[in-house]
Structure 1
Amino acid sequence: MTTQVSPQEQDYPLSPVPMDQRKSIWSMGLVLLGFTFFTATMWAGGSVGVAFDFSTMLMVLAAGNLLLGIYAAVLGYIAAKTGLNTALMSRFTFGEIGSKLSDFILGFTQIGWYAWGTATMAILLVKLTGLPESWTAPLMVVFGFGFCVTAFVGYRGLEILSRFAVPAMIVLIAVSMTIATSDAGGLGGLLAITPTDEMTAAAAITLVFGTFVSGGTQATNWTRFARSGKTAVIATLLAFFLGNGLMTLIGAFGALVYQQADIVDIMVAQGLATLGILMLFLNLWTTQDNTVYNFAVAGCNMLRTRRRKMVTVGGAAIGTVLAVMGMYEWLIPFLVLLGTFIPPIGGVIMASYFVGYKRRYPALDEVTLPAFNVPGLSAYAIGSAAAYTSPWIAPIVGVLVAATSYSLILLVSEAVRERRTQVTGAA
C-alpha cells in the first residue's frame, strides 16, 4: 500500500507554495537571520579586520554585505513571485536533466558545510569543557542527527527555533561587543589600531561576498513562503546585509581586539566561557538546520521525490559520516572553491526569469521542458569560467557575466528565429 505524501507536510519540495501558506516578514526575517548567523562568516570578517584601518574596514564590510544582500534579494523576489525555490527555477533555466547539475553543486556544498558544523560543535565542546577526546565522535553523531530535528519538521520547525535563538544571540553579541569596545579603549582606541596584514579592497569584498553566497543562492527555500515580493526583498536584505554584516563585523572586532575572529573564542577571552558555549550551540544549530533543509530541497528535485523529511534524515546521515571520518578538514578548500561556481547559477536564473520568461514562469505541471537547456548551460559555463579566471570580485563577475551571456544568447536566438520566419514567409 502506497502512502500519500502531502505537499504541505513536506513543505512543497516539487511545487509552488500556495498563497494561503505564505508567511509574514517577521517570520521569514527570523528564519533568515538564524541562517546567516554563521561561525565561518566571522572568520572572513577577521581576515578583513586585520588588513585595514577601522573606518576602511567598515566600508569594505558594508560594500561586500550590501552586494550579497542585493544578490540574495533579487532571487528572493523571484521566489516570492513564483513560489518556487532555486532547484525548481533551475528546471526552467537548465532543463529537466540539466537542473540536476545545480542540484548537485548546491546540495553537496550544503552537506559539506553541515559536516563542518557538526564536527566544529563536537570538537569545541570537548575542548571548552575538558571532556575526554573519546567523546568527540559520539558527540558528532548526537549533533549530526540532533541538528536536523527542526529541519525535519520543516519551515515551522526552523521558525520556532529562530524565535528563541535569534534574540538570545543578539543579546549575547551585544554584551560581548560592549566588553570588546571597552577593552579596546573605546572608539578612539579602535581608530588607533593599525593593520597587521595586507589585502586589497577587491579581495576583501570577494571574501565577504563569497563566504555565504551559497546560502544566498538558496535563500529562496524560505523566501518562496513570502506573501509578496516586497516582503521577500526586505527580509532578505535584513538577513544578508544586516545579519551577515553583523557576523563579519564581530569577526573583524575580535581580530582587532583579541586576535580571535570566532565569537566563542572572544567570549572565552572575556571570561564568558559558559555564554560562549551557549552562543556556539545556538549559532551552529540555527545554521545547521537551514543547511540540511537546503540539501533536502535540492535532493528532492534531483531525485524527483516529495519525501523531503526522508531526504533530510539522509542528508544528516551523510554529513555525520563525513564529520566522524574527519573528511570535513579537506572539504573546506573545495567548498570555498565551489563558491566561485555557485553565483553564476543565480545569474542565469535572474536572466531566465526577467528576460527569457518575461517575469512569468508557466506552471511546472503544464509545460514540457527540454532535457537540457543549452543556452542556460552555456551561459553558466561562460559565467563560471569568467569568475574562476577573474582577478576582480570573482562571485560578482560570475553573476554578471552569466546573466549577460544568457540574455544575449536569448536575444540572438530570437532574432535568428524571426529572420528565418521572414525568409520562409517571403519564399
Structure 2
Amino acid sequence: MQEQPILEKVEQQEDYPLRAVPPEMRKSFWSLAPILVGFTLYSGTLFAGGLVGPAFRFFPDLIGVILIGNLILGIYAALLGYIAGETGLNTVLMARFSFGNIGSRWVDFILGFTQVAWYAWGSGLIADLLNQTIGFPKSLNWLLIVVVTYGFCITAYFGYNALDWLSRIAVPAIVVLMLWSLAISTGEVGGFSGLQAQEIAPQAEMPLSAAITLIVGTFISGGTQATNWSRFARSGKMAAIATLLAFFLGNGFLIFSGAYSSLAYGDSDIVKVMMKQGLLVWGLILFVLNMWTTQDNTMYAFSVAGSHAFRTEKRHLLVLGGTTLALALTLGGIYGSQFVNFLVLLGTFIPPIGGIIMANYWLGHRGQFPSLDEVQPPFNWIGILSYIAASAIAYYTPGIKPINGIIAAVIIYFVLEKVMGQKEQGMKNKE
C-alpha cells in the first residue's frame, strides 16, 4: 500500500518521463509560455538570421520570408503541442504508438543524440566567444568549458519548476536587451529608409526556398521536442497557443534580430554587435541568459529521450550522464569540426517523425491514444516504412525539405494505413 505513494512521488520529482503528466500537475499558460519562448531564444538562430538578412530587400521581401518560415515552424510545433496537451505525453512516448515498442528507440536515439551534441556545441560557442570578446585565455578553455557545461545543466537537473523560474527572469531580460540593441542599430543605419536603401550583394543572394528551409530547419528539431513542456499544459488548446506563440514570435524575433544586425553591422553575433554599441557587459549578460535558457532545455530533452530509451525513471542521472558526454564531445573538438553541418542535416530527418506522430494520432487512433499500459507491438511497420520513405523524399527532392518530409510522412502513412491496416484487420477477422 505504501509503495504507490512513493512511486508517485518519484515520478513527480523526475517529471514523469515514462507516463502521462497527470491532470493535477498541469501548469498555467503563464508558466508554460516563458519556458517555450526561452527554449527558442538561441544564439544559433541569430546566425541563421545573419545568413538570410543580406540576401533580401528589407521590406517586404525579408519580412515576408521571416513570417512565412516561422509560421510554418510555429504551426508544426503547435500541432504536436496540441497532441501533447491533450494526452500529457511527449514525443518519445507518442512514438511508442507510431513506431512500436522497439522501433520507437530510433526516435529516442536521433532526438537524444541531436540534443546532447547541440549542448556540446553550445559550450564550445561560449568559450570561443569569450576568447574573442574579453580575451579569456585559450589555455584555460578547458576550465571554462567544464564550468559552463555543468553550470547550465543545473536547471535541467531540477526539472520543470527550475526551468520555469529561470525563464520568468531571463526571457523578459533578453527581450528588453535585444530591443535596446535593435533601437541603437536602427539609428546607426538611418531608420527604415536606410535599411530599404541597402543594396543586396551578389554573393549574398539566396533562393526563396533555401531561405525558408534554413529558417524552418534551424529549430524544427526543437519544435519536435517542445512536447516535453507542452504536455504540462492544462489543455490541448492552451498547449497549441503557447507553442505557436513561442515558435512563431520567439524564433521569429531571433531570426529578425540576426538579420537586422547583419544588415546594420555586417555581423549577426549579438555580443559583438553590442560591443560595437558600447554595451559589452549587457551583451555578455544577454548571451549567458540566451544560452542558458536553451542549453538547459536541450539537456532536459536529452534526459527525457534517454529515460524512454532505457525505460528508467532516473531522469536526474541521465542529465548528469548526458552532460558528461557533452563535455567529452566539446573537449574533443566538436565545435571546430563539421559536426554542426551534420546536425543541421538531421533537420531533414527529424520533421518526418512529427508528421508520422500526427498522422498516427489523428488517422490511426482517431484523436485518442490508448493507454501506455496497453502492450504495443515491437514494430509498427506502417510508421517505420512511412518514415523511411518520407525521409528519402525530404532528402532528395528540391524545395523546402522539412515541409516536404512532413507532408510526405502524412500522405504515405495515410496510404499505408488504408492498405496494410485493412490487411491486418482482415487477418484478425479470419482468426
Matches of 1:355 and 1:386, distance apart in 2: 21
Q: Any idea what SS the aligned residue of 1:6 has?
A: helix
Q: Look up the match of 2:190.
A: 185
Aligned to 1:373: 380
Partner of residue 344, structure 2: 336
Given candidates 347, 351, 358, the residue that maps to 2:355 is 347
TM-score, length basis structure 2: 0.95
1:146 corresponds to which residue?
A: 151
Residues 74 and 189 (structure 1 numbering): CA distance in 2 closer, same or farther, change over 3 Å?
A: same
Residues 357 and 127 of structure 1, relative CA distance in 2, 3 Å threshold: same
Q: 2-side partners of 1:112 and 1:121: how far apart? A: 14
Q: Is the 8 A contact 1:126 1:135 kept in 2?
A: no
Tell me the amino acid that sits aligned with residue 85 of structure 1.
N
Distance 1:285 1:19 in 2: 29
- In the TM superposition, what is the alpha-carbon distance from 1:419 to its structure 2 partner? 6.2
Alpha-carbon distance, 1:390 to partner: 1.5
The one of 397, 415, 426 aligned to 1:390 = 397
For structure 2, the residue ranges without an aligned partner over 5 or more in a row are none
| Cα distance between partner residues in 1 of 2:66 and 2:424 | 46
Map 1:13-412; keep pairs closer than 5 Å. 13-55=17-59, 56-196=61-201, 197-330=204-337, 331-365=339-373, 367-412=374-419
Distance change (3 Å), C-alpha of 1:190 and 1:317: same
Deviations 1:262-298 (A, max 9, x none): 2112111212111111111000000000000000000
Q: Given residue 172 of structure 1, which amino acid in structure 2 is its aligned partner?
A: L
CA positional deviation for 1:413: 2.4
- The residue type paired with residue 198 of structure 1 is E
Is this contact kept in 2: 1:264–1:277, CA < 8 A? yes
> Is the contact between residue 58 and residue 196 of structure 2 (CA under 8 Å) also seen in structure 1?
yes
1:34 Cα deviation (Å)?
A: 0.5
Which one is further off, 96-105 or 192-201?
192-201
Equivalent residues of 2:70, 2:251 under 8 A apart: yes
The Cα of 1:108 is off from its aligned counterpart by 0.6
SS in 1 for 2:394: helix
Q: Distance in 1 between matches of 2:30 and 2:10?
A: 26
Identity, % of aligned positions:
50
Q: Is the 8 A contact 2:48 2:215 kept in 1?
A: yes
SS of 1:8's equivalent in the other structure is helix
Q: Which residues of structure 1 form unaligned runs of 5+?
A: none
Distance 1:327 1:244 in 2: 25
Q: Quick one: distance in 2 between partners of 1:79 and 1:269?
A: 43
TM-fit CA distance, 1:123: 2.1
How large is the RMSD of aligned CA atoms in angstroms?
Answer: 1.5
Equivalent residue of 1:225, what SS?
Answer: coil
Q: Could you report, residue by residue, the CA deviation over 1:210-256 in whole angstroms, capped at 9, with x for unpaired residues?
A: 00000000000000000011111111111100000000000100111
Matched AA of 2:408: V
- Contact 2:348-2:405 within 8 A present in 1 as well: yes
The letter for the 2-side match of 1:80 is G
In structure 2, relative to structure 1, the CA distance for the partners of 1:311 and 1:417 (3 Å cut) is: closer
Q: Distance in 2 between matches of 1:126 and 1:161?
A: 26
Cα 1:412–1:270 change in 2 (3 A) is: same
Cα deviation per residue 1:97-134 (whole Å; 9 max; x = unaligned)? Answer: 10010111000100111001111112212332222211
CA distance in 1, matches of 2:257, 2:365: 41
Q: Counterparts of 1:392 and 1:371 in 2: how far apart (Å)? A: 35
SS in structure 1 of the partner of residue 378 of structure 2? coil
CA contact 2:133–2:272 (8 Å) conserved in 1: no
How far apart are the structure 2 equivalents of 1:138 and 1:418? Answer: 60
Secondary structure, aligned partner of 2:268: coil
What residue identity is the alignment partner of 2:406?
A: V
The SS at the match of 1:202 is helix
Question: How far apart, in 1, do the equivalents of 2:21 and 2:395 lie?
Answer: 35
One-letter amino acid matched to 2:245: L
Q: Please tell me whether the aligned partners of residues 177 and 250 of structure 1 are also in contact (alpha carbons under 8 angstroms).
A: yes
- TM-score relative to the length of structure 1: 0.96
Residues 191-228 of structure 1, C-alpha deviations (whole Å, 9 max, x = no match): 11121211111110000000000000000000000001
Give the Å deviation of 1:418: 6.1
1:335-370 deviations in whole A, cap 9, x for unaligned?
A: 0111110000000000000000111111111x1111
The 1-side partners of 2:213 and 2:351 are apart by 12
Aligned length: 422
For residue 420 of structure 1, report the CA deviation from its aligned partner.
Answer: 6.5
Asked if 2 retains the 8 angstrom alpha-carbon contact of 1:112 and 1:328, the reply is: no
Give the AA of the match of 1:254. Answer: S
For residues 17-40 of structure 1, give each alpha carbon's deviation from its aligned partner in whole angstroms, at most 9, with x where no partner exists: 001111111111100111000000
In 2: Cα distance, 1:393 partner to 1:80 partner:
28
**Conserved? CA contact 2:97–2:376, under 8 Å:** yes
Supply the distance in 1 between the matched residues of 2:334 and 2:218 (Cα, whole angstroms). 20
Judge which range, 266-275 or 245-254, deviates more: 266-275
Q: How far apart, in 2, do the equivalents of 1:204 and 1:131 lie?
A: 35
- TM superposition shift of 1:89: 0.4
